[in-house]
Each structure stands twice: as C-alpha cells, then as structure tokens.
C-alpha cells in the first residue's frame, strides 16, 4: 500500500486556491502580515499550517 505524502509547503498559486482567494488578494494578505511567505531560492512558498491558521482565524471572527 502506497501512502500519500501531504505537502508542508505549497506554491503561492496553490495557497491562494486553498483559501479560495485570487493571486492578488493572496499577496495583499501576505503584505498585511496575515499569511507568512517563505522564500526558498527563487521560489515563494506558503506553509499549509499557516493557511489553516489563517482560515481558523476567520472562523473565530465569524463566531464572535
């Protein structure tokens, strides 16, 4: 049985898709410090865990 490896880091385009935002809005959130961007050489990546934390923070604001 082959198990799937879930990525820890994803490219910006995938990160934007994960949270349901466009690329421009995603970069706005990065500029506002709401989502940290990781540079690995010339690549810009985002942590899947950071995306989950961001989404959880939105859920907290809605519930309040």
Residues 6+ apart with CB under 8 A from 45: 9, 10, 11, 12, 15, 37, 38, 39
Query: pLDDT grade, residue 60 (50/70/90)?
Result: confident
Distance CA(59)–CA(64), nearest Å, equals 9
Q: What is the pLDDT of residues 7-40, one digit of tens each?
A: 999 999 999 999 999 999 999 999 999 999 999 9
Task: Read off the pTM.
Answer: 0.82
Higher pLDDT pick, 30 / 60: 30
Domain boundaries, the chain: 9-63
pLDDT for 64 equals 57
């Amino acid at each position: 049985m082959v198990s799937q490896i879930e990525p820890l880091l994803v490219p910006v385009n995938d990160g934007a898709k994960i949270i349901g935002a466009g690329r421009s809005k995603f970069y706005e959130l990065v500029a506002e410090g709401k989502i940290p961007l990781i540079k690995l050489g010339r690549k810009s990546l985002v942590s899947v865990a950071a995306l989950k934390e961001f989404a959880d923070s939105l859920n907290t604001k809605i519930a309040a």
